[in-house]
Amino acid sequence: MTQSHFAAALLDPDAPVPVGVIDPRGHPAPKRFAVYRNNVAGSLVEALKAAFPMLVKLLGEEFFAAMALAFLRAHPPKSRILMLYGDEMPGFLEQFQPVAHLGYLPDIARVDQALRESYHSADSTHLPEVEFHRLLGQDIAALRLRLAPSLRLIRSRWPIFSIWAANHDNGPTPKPQAEDLLILRPEFDPRPQLLPPGGAAFLAGLMAGRTLGESLDLATGPIDLAAILGLLISGRAIVGVSK
Amino acid sequence: MLDQSHGLPAKPGVGYKPQHFQAILQDARPVGWLEIHAENYMGAGGRPLAQLRHLAERFPISVHGVGLSIGGEGPLDRDHLDRLKYLCDWLQPASFSEHLAWSTHDGAFLNDLLPVPYTMATLARVADHIDRVQSVLGRRMHLENPSTYVAFAETAMGEVDFLTEVARRTGCGLLLDVNNVYVSGVNQNYDPVAYIDAFPLHLVGEIHLGGHHEDRDDHGQRLLIDSHGAEVTDPVWALYARVIRRAGPLPTLIEWDNDVPDWPRLAAEATRAARILEPVR
């Protein structure tokens, strides 16, 4: 018995029990081997359920579990740290025929994944609001903002924020429109926010380290700068400013 | 942080679950220390690490790894070992332990504690891996006996002899999981009492107790599953009392990882362990 044989048979439910794996009296032991198979599949399905709560809510536990089983066989974890397991889920869902009619699902998976990444990302100290306002008195176009590592931006052609809010907080029924979503973590609990139209390109510029002026040039239309900066300030997402 | 250099106290401890954070800060009695799974605290920041920092100021902490794959055929993962070192250097825990098992193969992490055949080749490999862990971490580790469900045709020695020899070669300590002894004893057809009586208790730095579930194998034989999802069973309490009578009081962990109960129910299990520890104090 090598661990290659053992591992391959664990992930493939149709593979035979590896040679040399027996019960204490020397008999073949398929049901005993199945304990390991069930542990591996069961524990990873549980990890994925915890990782993608909104997918579970939208698909139902039973369907999600069946889908998660297909996912983990195609994409077993590469890291021993399961807190971020599942980053291939959006791509997997794009190819998974049974949910092909739910086009927004991959983006919802991206939201679940980004919430988790944000939850575990490094702590940072936000810039006091007075300090920020003092800087706004200067030539703001030349300023670069250092943003919190917990900040995440998701751009979608689906109403992902409305879908998320409708299912998380009983928000209103989503309208068919494109929405961009920002994840802020003021202290320890990340929360999604709807980004005003046109703001995503501006914010992507800031996150890439461009100046406020350069980022404004990237905006896809007129944007409400005060509203976006207000979101970043109240979400404690600005951790530093430089020229 | 609390000075953790005295090791774990010979009291009951529990596996830490975030939902118990407030209850533990209010009144943890009779729990005197906490165990965490190392891999859950390898993120960059956020609430898990903030809570851990808080708890380490009040309780001795045991870091218990579940992902090092010490029994693996391949070399130890350098990145994972570095992460473990980072965590231990920061936290300076009272203890570090891992399993006699493997969980990673060919880059895939299987998230289970998989069994190894007890052969001279396995022994040499496991001893090498433990030497490496102890030298990178700069501390002595404790190795835990596993729950097993299958046997291997190639196995050539008993588990107690295997563990004793690993400890002799590496100088590591042992973590005795009494529930695992009972589960494996039933599953592998040996007498758990004889196992305990042969075990080198002077090397044991920590005890684990947990719940199991019962099933049947293909031939109708009892098959116990180490589920960590229920109360410790009576035969396991009896074995535990036997260990403590022989060895004296030892740090004793209640493990309850699935269907996690509310704090009072978990604390009640710790109280039961405390009653067995008390008379020999």
**Does A6 sit within 8 Å of B106, measured CB to CB?**
no
Interface of B with A in 55-94 (CB under 8 A): 67-69, 72-73, 77, 80, 83
The pLDDT value recorded for residue B14 is: 98
Nearest CA to A38 out of A75, A74, A11 is that of A11
Q: What is the pLDDT of residues B118-146, one digit of tens each?
A: 999 999 999 999 999 999 999 999 999 99
Residue B213 in this model has a pLDDT that exceeds 80: yes
Q: Which of A102, A133, A154 delimits the end of a domain?
A: A102
Q: Which of A102, A130, A162 delimits the end of a domain?
A: A102
Interface of A with B in 133-152 (CB under 8 A): 149-150
> Is there a single domain that holds both residue A17 and residue A133?
no
Is residue A108 one of the residues assigned to a domain? no
Residue B231 in this model has a pLDDT that exceeds 90: yes
What is the count of residue pairs from A and B with beta carbons less than 8 Å apart?
144
Close Cβ partners of B168 (under 8 Å, ≥ 6 residues apart): none
> Is there a single domain that holds both residue A95 and residue A126?
no
Q: What is the DSSP letter of B146?
A: P
Length of chain B as a residue count: 281
> Is there a single domain that holds both residue A25 and residue A73?
yes
Minimal CA separation from A232 to chain B, in Å: 18
The pLDDT value recorded for residue A161 is: 97
Q: Which residue has the tokens 């992507």?
A: A204
> Is there a single domain that holds both residue A239 and residue A154?
yes
Residue B42 in this model has a pLDDT that exceeds 60: yes
**Does B110 sit within 8 Å of A7, measured CB to CB?**
yes
Q: What average pLDDT score do residues A39-46 get?
A: 96
Q: Which residue has the tokens 């044989």?
A: A5
> Is there a single domain that holds both residue A233 and residue A143?
yes
The pLDDT value recorded for residue B175 is: 98
Residue B102 in this model has a pLDDT that exceeds 80: yes
For residue B43, give the nearest of A7, A32, A83 by CB distance. A83
Is residue A201 one of the residues assigned to a domain? yes
**Antiparallel, parallel or unpaired: β A191-195 and A180-184:** antiparallel
Minimal CA separation from A45 to chain B, in Å: 11
> Is there a single domain that holds both residue A193 and residue A236?
yes
Interface of B with A in 187-216 (CB under 8 A): 187-190, 215-216
Is residue A28 one of the residues assigned to a domain? yes
> How many structural domains are present in chain A?
2
Long-range contacts of B218-224 (CB under 8 A, 24+ apart): B218/A23, B218/A27, B218/A28, B218/A29, B218/A30, B218/A31, B218/A32, B219/A23, B219/A27, B221/A23, B222/B186, B222/B187, B223/A31, B223/A32, B223/A35, B223/B149, B223/B186, B223/B187, B224/B147, B224/B182, B224/B183, B224/B186, B224/B187
Q: What average pLDDT score do residues A22-31 get?
A: 94
Is residue A218 one of the residues assigned to a domain? yes
The pLDDT value recorded for residue B276 is: 97
> Is there a single domain that holds both residue A40 and residue A93?
yes
Take residue A242 and report the two structure tokens written for it: 């430089």
Q: B20-280 belongs to which homologous superfamily?
A: Divalent-metal-dependent TIM barrel enzymes (3.20.20.150)
Interface test with chain B among A23, A38, A40, A115, by most B beta carbons within 10 Å: A23
Mean pLDDT for chain A overall: 94
Minimal CA separation from B187 to chain A, in Å: 8
For residue A121, give the nearest of B39, B46, B69 by CB distance. B46
Residue B101 in this model has a pLDDT that exceeds 80: yes
**Does B221 sit within 8 Å of A23, measured CB to CB?**
yes
Confidence of residue A193 (pLDDT cuts 50, 70, 90): very high
For residue B105, give the nearest of A7, A149, A185 by CB distance. A7
Q: What is the pLDDT of residues A60-78, one digit of tens each?
A: 999 999 999 999 999 999 9
**Does A40 sit within 8 Å of B150, measured CB to CB?**
no
Q: What average pLDDT score do residues B146-163 get?
A: 97
Take residue B123 and report the two structure tokens written for it: 């022994």
**Does B189 sit within 8 Å of A35, measured CB to CB?**
no
Confidence of residue B280 (pLDDT cuts 50, 70, 90): low
**Does B47 sit within 8 Å of A3, measured CB to CB?**
no
> Is there a single domain that holds both residue A183 and residue A89?
no
Whole domain around residue A227: which residue ranges? Answer: 122-243
Confidence of residue B250 (pLDDT cuts 50, 70, 90): very high
The pLDDT value recorded for residue B87 is: 98
For residue B152, give the nearest of A4, A21, A44 by CB distance. A21
DSSP B57-81: TTS-EEEE-SS--TT-SSPPPHHHH
Residue B281 in this model has a pLDDT that exceeds 60: no
| Crossing angle of the two packed helices B159-170 and B120-137, in degrees rounded to 10 | 40
Beta strands in chain A (DSSP E): 21-22, 144-147, 152-155, 180-184, 191-195, 238-242
For residue A22, give the nearest of B111, B151, B187 by CB distance. B151
A130 Cβ under 8 Å from any chain B Cβ: no
Measured between alpha carbons, how far is residue A108 from residues A4, A61, A63, A211 in Å?
35, 16, 16, 30
Mean pLDDT for chain B overall: 96
For residue A2, give the nearest of B47, B73, B111 by CB distance. B73
Q: What is the pLDDT of residues A93-141, one digit of tens each?
A: 999 999 999 999 999 999 999 999 999 999 999 998 888 788 777 788 9
Confidence of residue A170 (pLDDT cuts 50, 70, 90): confident
The pLDDT value recorded for residue A197 is: 84
Q: Rounded distance, CA B226 to CA B223, Å?
A: 10
Q: Please, are residues A23 and B184 in contact by the beta-carbon 8 Å criterion?
A: no
Among A43-52, A149-158, A162-171, B190-199, which stretch is predicted with the lowest mean pLDDT? A162-171
Is residue A111 one of the residues assigned to a domain? no
**Does B117 sit within 8 Å of A1, measured CB to CB?**
yes
Q: Where are the alpha helices (DSSP H) in B77-177?
A: 78-91, 120-137, 159-170
- Other CB atoms closer than 10 Å to residue A74's CB: what's the count? 12
Interface of B with A in 169-188 (CB under 8 A): 187-188
Is residue A116 one of the residues assigned to a domain? no
> Is there a single domain that holds both residue A98 and residue A198?
no
Q: Which of A102, A132, A156 delimits the end of a domain?
A: A102
- Other CB atoms closer than 10 Å to residue A140's CB: what's the count? 15
> Is there a single domain that holds both residue A12 and residue A69?
yes
For residue B111, give the nearest of A24, A40, A121 by CB distance. A40
